[in-house]
Amino acid sequence: MKPSAGSASGYPSTGLSFMNAPCSFEELGSYLFRSQVFPGGAVLLTGTGIVPPDGFTLQPKDRVRIQISGIGTLENPVVEV
């Protein structure tokens, strides 16, 4: 993955900002089993696949972008609050 153009930090990032609120383990697991059957059980991994170096911080005006082939691109600016 390459850093997004205009990234002041120079590092890529991933996230799950589409999730409106944290959910319980049971609720998260229920989504997995809604459309498939796992007779032997399943392992559900969450989190990021990219771990930036210690001291890394997104800066205002950075842009966080995720692109998935065949689906599209989601991009958000970083703002200081």
- The reported pLDDT for the residue numbered 38 is 87
CB–CB of 13/1 below 8 Å? no
Domain boundaries, the chain: 1-81
pTM higher than 0.85: no
Separation of alpha carbons 60 and 63, rounded Å: 9
CB–CB of 11/3 below 8 Å? yes
Q: At 64, list the tokens.
A: 């966080």
Average pLDDT across each block of 10 residues of the chain; the chain has 81 residues. List them in order. 45 50 75 86 74 86 90 93 85
Residues pairing with 77 in the sheet: 63
- The reported pLDDT for the residue numbered 15 is 52
Residues pairing with 36 in the sheet: none
- The reported pLDDT for the residue numbered 2 is 40
Residues pairing with 68 in the sheet: 72
